[in-house]
């Protein structure tokens, strides 16, 4: 059995160790999403039946009732098609790699380089899902063979599915030193739980670092998170400014988790 860890070394020499989601969690998420999507399709079908019943009982448009029912049936089938193929694309796109099922299973789709998944990759991996699921569940076989547990859709899109570990969103042992405040304008959804853990570990341990080492690490992390969050202003190049920015990211992540 392959190790579930996936390591990424950033240009700032920050090593991120991610835990792959595993087949069990992915199957669980798929089952939940299938049930939710199926329930929506059932509701649409019931509405179609209700429309037919109302038309039959009220004799509305008696001359064109069949045409009305045909249009309603075509709409229902189109909507079912959209749900079948658009459900995962929609949620993974707006929820940064998660669907309701993935959120419950605590897993997330990311790019192979550790970045949040983009719309192009989301579309590719879910269009290939038809092959993964439709041809004798070939996706599961490929996941068993691939060392990073990727199905065909992941291989085509360059994505991974990782376990999103629960993080302690309380300040806990982190002592805030700079008076930083949360910033709602930060695109904090781009920060993964693993990156949050890395940031929290630095903020907890910084007082134990040497005066020469502490500002270097702080500025490296500041540069990394500013690039991650697409912050246009450069690093502050002083320990106080770097740590204030890192505390702001830390607090903004907490605020997002408590929403």
Residue 171 has pLDDT above 60, yes or no: no
Q: What is the mean pLDDT of the chain?
A: 81
The domain locations on the chain are 1-164, 188-257
Q: DSSP labels for 184-220?
A: TTS-GGGS-HHHHHHHHHHHHHGGGS-TTHHHHHHHH
Please report, to the nearest 10 degrees, the dihedral formed by the alpha carbons of residues 112, 115, 116, 121 taken in order.
-40
> How far is it, in rounded angstroms, from Cα 123 to Cα 193?
24
CA-based nearest residue to 220, from 196, 245, 193:
245
Residue 2 has pLDDT above 50, yes or no: no
Confidence of residue 169 (pLDDT cuts 50, 70, 90): very low
Three-state SS letters, 11-31: CCCCEEEEEECCHHHHHHHHH
CA-based nearest residue to 165, from 198, 126, 194, 125:
194
Tokens representing 131 are: 């092959």
Task: Answer yes or no: are the C-beta atoms of 169 and 257 closer than 8 Å.
Answer: yes
Residue 11 has pLDDT above 60, yes or no: no
Task: Answer yes or no: are the C-beta atoms of 36 and 83 closer than 8 Å.
Answer: no
DSSP 8-state class, residue 150: -
Q: N- to C-terminal Cα distance for the chain? A: 38
CB within 8 A of 183, min separation 6: which ones? 248, 252
Determine how many CB atoms are found less than 10 A away from the CB of residue 163: 18
CA-based nearest residue to 115, from 27, 227, 28, 200:
227
Give the tens place of pLDDT for each residue, 118-162: 899 999 999 998 888 877 678 888 898 988 889 999 999 999 998
- Which residues does residue 163 pair with via DSSP β-bridges, in sequence order? 107
Write down the pLDDT at residue 104: 92
């Amino acid at each position: 059995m392959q190790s579930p860890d996936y390591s990424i070394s950033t240009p700032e020499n920050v090593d991120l160790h991610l835990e792959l989601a595993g087949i069990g969690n992915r199957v669980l998420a798929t089952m939940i999403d299938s049930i939710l999507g199926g329930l929506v399709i059932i509701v649409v079908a019931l509405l179609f039946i209700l429309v037919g019943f109302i038309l039959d009982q009220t004799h509305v448009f008696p001359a064109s009732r069949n045409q009305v029912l045909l249009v309603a049936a075509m709409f229902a089938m189109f909507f079912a098609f959209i749900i079948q193929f658009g459900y995962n694309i929609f949620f993974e796109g707006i929820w940064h790699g998660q669907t309701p099922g993935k959120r419950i299973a605590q897993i997330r789709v990311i790019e192979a380089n550790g970045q949040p998944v983009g719309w192009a990759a989301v579309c590719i991996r879910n269009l290939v899902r038809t092959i993964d699921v439709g041809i004798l569940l070939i996706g599961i076989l490929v996941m068993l063979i691939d060392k990073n547990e990727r199905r065909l859709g992941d291989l085509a899109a360059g994505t991974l599915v990782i376990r999103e570990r629960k993080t302690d969103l309380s300040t806990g042992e982190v002592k805030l030193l700079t008076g930083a405040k949360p910033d709602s304008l930060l695109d904090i959804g781009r920060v993964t739980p693993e990156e949050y853990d890395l940031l929290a570990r630095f903020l907890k341990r910084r007082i134990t670092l040497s005066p020469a080492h502490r500002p270097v690490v702080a500025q490296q992390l500041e540069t990394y998170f500013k690039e991650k969050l697409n912050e246009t202003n450069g690093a502050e190049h002083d320990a106080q400014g770097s740590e204030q920015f890192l505390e702001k990211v830390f607090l903004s992540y907490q605020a997002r988790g408590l929403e």
